[in-house]
Chain A
Amino acid sequence: METSSACLVLEGVSRHFGGLKAVDNVNLTLQPGERHALIGPNGAGKTTLFNVISGELRADAGTITLNGADVTRLAAHQRAARGIARTFQITKLFPNLTVIENMLVACEALDRRRFTMHRPLSSCADLVERATNLLDEYRLSPFRRELARNLSYGDQRKLEVALSMAGRPRVLLLDEPMAGLSSGERDVMQALLRQLDPSIAVLLIEHDIDVAFGFAERITVLYQGRVLTEGPKEMVSANRSVQESYLGLLVE
C-alpha cells in the first residue's frame, strides 16, 4: 500500500479508558478519494477511533499523519483546519440557533472572516450562498428559520451531516450518518454521499451492511478495539471471522 500519497495514516494508534482498550494498536491508511467503511459490533471502538483521529481525544500511543504532517499532538480545531471534518453519532448541533445560522457558523469556521467584527455575517454573500446551497442539498431549506432544537430527530441528523460538509474537508469522518433517517431520506443521503467530491477521502461508520458495502470499496472491521480485517469489500465479506463476529445475521 502506498503511504506517501495517503492523506490519512494511523500507525499503532491506541486509546485506553482505564483498563479498557477501546482502540488498540490500529493501523489505517486512507488515500485521497478513497471510500472506506468502518464496521464492527457495538462498542468495538469505532467512535473512539474517530475521536482520536479528529482530536477530541488524545491517542495514548501511535501517530496520526495527515497529508504527510504529524498531527498527533494537535488540538481538534487545528486538525479541522488541516482538513478533517466529522459528524457525531450523538447529534451535536447549536440548538438555539436557527438552521441557517447553524450552517453559517459552520461555513465560516475555516474562513479568514471568522474574526471579522465590522460587518454583519449576512453581508458576506458567498458564505450565505454556500450555506443556502448546502441546506438545499440536504433538503433542509424548509426549516431555514426553525431553531435547530425544534427539528425532528431525523432532520437533526441531516443537519448534523450537513454541518460537517461546510468546511470543504479533505478527510471526512461520518459516524452513522444514516441513523434515524427514514427509508426515503436514506436514499437521498446515500445519493448525496455518492456525489461527494471524488477527491475527498471518506471514512464511514455504518451498521447497515448494505449501505456500507454499497458505498465503500475498502472495509475495515474493528473488533474489541483491534482491526480484525482490512481490505477490499469482497475480501472482507468472505472472511469467516467477520461473519461470525459481525455479519452473523447474514449467514444465519
Chain B
Amino acid sequence: MKAVPFVAVILVMLIAGPPFLASYWVGLLTQMLIFALLAMSLDVLLGYTGLPSLGHAGFFGVAAYAVAVLSTTYHAGFWTCVMSGILIGTLLSTLLGLLVSHVRDVYFLMITLASGMVLWGLSYRWIPVTGGDNGISGIPRLDAHAGLPFAGPVAFYYVTLLVFVVSASLLALLVSSPFGFTLRGIRENELRMKSLGFNTWLHCWVSYIIAGAFASVSGVVWAYYNGFVSPTYLDLTASSELFLMVTLGGPGTLVGPVIGAGAIVLLKNVISAYTQRWPLILGTFYIITMFGAPQGLWNLGRRRRASS
C-alpha cells in the first residue's frame, strides 16, 4: 500500500516524459520496461513462491523466437505472431513445469538452469529453424506489421508501456489475491501448507506457468523491439542478469524488480560509455547493494520509511 504514491509518480513520469526525450533515451526506457516486466514475472517464482529459477530467460527467448520464425519464414500476420509467441512460451512453461515443480531450493535453481541450457542448446543447434548462432534477423517493424498509424521509437514506447501497465496490474492483482498468498505460504513453509490442505505441487506448477506466460509477453515485445533474435537471448548470462535484477530490486515485491531492471539497464548503458572497466564497476555495485540492502533496494527504502 505504501507503494501507491511512488508507483503513481513513476507512472506519470513514464507517461508524460518520453515526448521530451531523445530517441536514444526513449529506446532505453523501452528496454527497461520490457526487462521490468520480465523481472516481475520471474519474481512471481523467485520472490513469491520461493522458487529460484535460473532458466527464466528461456521462455522469453522462446517466445521471441516464435515471433521471429513466424514473421520471417512464414510471413505470418501480427496477431498470429503475438498470440503464438505467448502461447508457445506458456505451453513450454506448462510442460517444463511438470518436470520441475516438485524440486526445491538449489535443486530448483539447477534444474531450471539445465532446462534453460537445453533451450539455449536447441536455439543454437536447431539451425533450419533458428538459424543457429547467427540468429534470425529481419523481423518486421511493429508499426508495419501491426498496421499502426504511428511509427518510431516513441510510438513503440507507448505500446510497450501499455503492455507493461496491463501486465503489471494483472500481476499486482495476482500477488494480492488468495492464490498469491498461497504462493507466499509455500515459500514460507511448504509442509505446513500441505497439512492445511494445499496441493502445493499444483500451486507451484500454476505459478510456473503464469511466470512463463508473462515472460513470453515480454519476449514478444523484445523481438519486435530488436528486430532479431539470437541464442544469447536465452543463455545463462541472460538468466542470471535477470536474477540479479530481481534480487537487487527486492524479491517478493513487484516494485523491486522494476527498480532492479531499471537500475541495471541504465547502469550498463551509462557506465560502459565512460569506461571499459564497467563489469568491474557493475560487480562492485552488486556487492555493495547486496551488502547494504540484502533484501533489495526497494525493501531498504521501505524499512527506512517504516522506521521514520
- A97 near B188 with CB under 8 A, answer yes
Q: Please give, as numbers and ranges, the residues of chain B lying within 8 Å of A76 by CB-CB distance.
A: 194-195
Known: A55-B194, A110-B197. 18 other contacts (CB 8 A): A55-B195, A56-B191, A77-B196, A77-B200, A80-B195, A92-B191, A93-B192, A94-B185, A97-B188, A106-B196, A108-B182, A109-B197, A114-B198, A116-B178, A116-B179, A119-B173, A121-B176, A121-B178
Query: Is A167 part of the binding interface, using a Cβ–Cβ cutoff of 8 Å?
Result: yes
Q: Please give, as numbers and ranges, the residues of chain A lying within 8 Å of B199 by CB-CB distance.
A: 75, 77-78
- A105 near B177 with CB under 8 A, answer no
Given A54-B195, A81-B197: A117 in contact with B177 (beta carbons within 8 A): yes
Q: Please give, as numbers and ranges, the residues of chain B lying within 8 Å of A96 by CB-CB distance.
A: 187-188
Binding site for A on B (CB under 8 A): 173-174, 176-182, 184-185, 187-189, 191-200, 206
Given A77-B194, A77-B200, A166-B196: A105 in contact with B182 (beta carbons within 8 A): yes
Query: Is A158 part of the binding interface, using a Cβ–Cβ cutoff of 8 Å?
Result: no
Query: Is A209 part of the binding interface, using a Cβ–Cβ cutoff of 8 Å?
Result: no
Number of interface residues of A (CB under 8 A): 41
Given A97-B188, A105-B185: A120 in contact with B177 (beta carbons within 8 A): yes
Minimum Cβ distance to chain A for residue B113 (Å): 26
Residue on A with the closest CB to B252?
A96
Query: Is A113 part of the binding interface, using a Cβ–Cβ cutoff of 8 Å?
Result: yes
Residue on B with the closest CB to A119?
B177
Minimum Cβ distance to chain B for residue A165 (Å): 11
From B177, B198, B200, give the contact of A116 (CB < 8 A). B177
Given A120-B177, A122-B176: A94 in contact with B182 (beta carbons within 8 A): no
Minimum Cβ distance to chain B for residue A71 (Å): 13
Bound state CA distance, A118 and B206, in angstroms?
A: 14
Minimum Cβ distance to chain B for residue A166 (Å): 7
Query: Is A104 part of the binding interface, using a Cβ–Cβ cutoff of 8 Å?
Result: yes
Please indicate which of the listed interface residues B177, B179, B182, B187 has the most CB atoms of chain A within 10 Å of its own CB.
Answer: B177
Given A92-B192, A94-B184: A77 in contact with B197 (beta carbons within 8 A): yes
Minimum Cβ distance to chain B for residue A203 (Å): 15
Bound state CA distance, A114 and B197, in angstroms?
A: 11
Minimum Cβ distance to chain B for residue A88 (Å): 8
**What are the interface flags for A62-102 relative to B under an 8 Å C-beta threshold, 1 for contact and 0 otherwise?**
00000000000001111011000110100011111100010
Bound state CA distance, A124 and B181, in angstroms?
A: 13
